[in-house]
Amino acid sequence: MARERIIVESKVREMLPPGIRLASDALDGLDAVVREIIQKAVKRCQANGRKTIMKEDF
């Protein structure tokens, strides 16, 4: 069973300029990058003794 994406395909497509298409596997790659960024932010937040992720953690 595939894991659910945390990104919204329609919102990603809205950001693309006219004439640019998006392959379905591109969304999987983007989702993986977003998950990695979030995990890094969690680690930085914890390393700074906080329980709240702030923009500086990204």
Q: Average pLDDT, stretch 1-8? A: 84
Residue 39 is assigned to a structural domain of this protein: yes
DSSP 57: G
* CA 29 – CA 42 distance, rounded (Å): 20
Per DSSP, 48 falls in state T
Burial of 21 (0-12, 13-18, 19+ CB in 10 A): exposed
Domain of residue 50 covers: 23-57
* Phi, psi (degrees; rounded to nearest 5) at 31: -60, -40
Asked whether residue 50 is domain-assigned, the answer is yes
Number of domains in the chain: 1
Query: 24-54: per-residue pLDDT in tens?
Result: 899 999 999 999 999 999 999 999 999 999 9
In a domain, 6, yes or no: no
Q: How far apart are CA 58 and CA 39, in angstroms?
A: 10
pLDDT, one tens digit per residue, over 6-28 is 999 999 999 999 999 999 899 99
